Chains A and B, each alone.
Chain A
Amino acid sequence: MSWRAGQRIDDAALNLRGTQYVIKPSSTDRSSTVTPTNDPDLSLSLDPGLWEIEIGIYYSSATAAAGIRTIWTTPADASLVSLRACSGPGSVSTDRLSTQARLIGQVASGEVTYGHGNGLGNAAGATESALVRIVTAGSVALAWAQRTSDVGATRLHAGAWMRAEWIEE
């Protein structure tokens, strides 16, 4: 975050130090798939450096089988300095009101599954956060699919968000 004496205060240097956000403008539904693909909205283009990234995941599924699974997509030469700290309903949770929460540390490509079963529209919440080292500028995205393939859809709700805060060069 630090500034150097004599450093030019231009738009790029100032913007790098501002927190970056993206918020899903509308919901996305997916069905009959367990292969995570990038969400069309939850992606941020980041400059080189160390970043704290956090994602707020609001999701629902039509059936108890569907649920959701998530991974992170990063540039090829990027690395996670920390694990993803993933908190949310357990994989077999069927009700967002149940006390089935858990916390798991997972690598970027490690799939984390969260359960649901209240039907589309009753969103459960999960959060994931990690420190990520970006070497070559590129995008970090949330990729997701269903926990178990089901013709009943899994929905990532409008308002789900992603935040990135620059820590250091």
Chain B
Amino acid sequence: MSTHAPWWVAGDRLTTAAPAARQARFAYKPAATTRTSATATDDPDLLLSLPAGMWQLSARLFYGATTGSKGIKVGWGFTVPPTGVQPERIGFGPTSTSTNRINTNVQTRGTAVTSTAIASPTPARLYGNDDGLTSYAVIIEDGLFSLALETTWSITWAEHTVHADGTQLGAGSWIKARPIVLLEAT
């Protein structure tokens, strides 16, 4: 057993699972999803089941909205609350009132992660873009969290402002989880 993956220690068994446990895990959207609600729920594609340990988590989100829906609301969901190495996730993206992906209205903010269930990410962060459903702006979010138990991490999202026009999270949006320390035997 190694308690400090991605390092190897003498006696580790070279199974198929052991090296895979030391690699980054990815998930990406094969197709876009459009939503017409302002209540955030987990994305059907952007979620990863992660063993106990410390993880560097990263997301690249491509989104479009209209003058009605105004943008996107983004949260992080964890089935088990993480313990804080870094108590907040960092969000880098258009401000909540940005109206066009070409705007130079960028926010770089920390947002606490206190969610206790995938379906209730609190708080969420608002990013603006009303240039159309497929005129995508970009969000970069990062965090470093410790998970005491196996946990599913997800991107949860909804419309910035509820409207029939909808908000779209684009195909190719992706998340990555890189193990810094693993606490389970591999």
Contact A1 B176, beta carbon cutoff 8 Å:
no
**Is A37 an interface residue when CB atoms closer than 8 A count as contact?**
no
Whether A125 sits at the interface, judged by CB under 8 Å, is no
Q: Is the CB of B140 within 8 A of A85?
A: yes
Closest to B27 in A: A167
User: Across the interface, do A103 and B94 meet the contact criterion of CB distance under 8 Å?
Assistant: yes
CB distance from B20 to the nearest CB of A (A): 5
Using A3-B20, A5-B16, A82-B62 as known contacts, say yes or no to A104 and B138 having CB atoms under 8 A apart.
yes
Closest to A14 in B: B19
**Contact A81:B16 (CB < 8 A) given known A103-B106, A165-B24:** no
Q: For the complex, is A15 an interface residue (Cβ under 8 Å from B)?
A: no
**Docked-complex contact A103 and B139, CB < 8 angstroms:** yes
* Interface residue? A83 (CB, 8 A): yes
Question: A-facing mask of B1-32, CB < 8 A → 1, else 0?
Answer: 00000000000001010011001111010000
A146 interface residue per 8 A CB criterion: no
- Tell me how many residues of A have a C-beta within 8 Å of chain B: 32
B137 contact from A4, A89, A104, Cβ within 8 A: A104
Say yes or no: A87-B92 contact (C-beta < 8 A), given A1-B23, A131-B28: yes
B179 CB to closest chain A CB, in angstroms? 11
State how many angstroms separate the Cβ of B170 from the closest Cβ of chain A: 7
Contacts of B138 in A (CB 8 A): 83, 85-87, 103-105
| Residue from the list B20, B26, B94, B136 in contact with A83, Cβ < 8 A | B136
Chain B: residues with CB nearer than 8 A to chain A? 14, 16, 19-20, 23-26, 28, 60, 62, 92-94, 101-106, 136-140, 170-174, 176
By a beta-carbon cutoff of 8 Å, the part of chain A in contact with chain B is 1-5, 7, 9, 17, 52, 80-83, 85-87, 89-90, 93, 99-105, 129-131, 165, 167-168
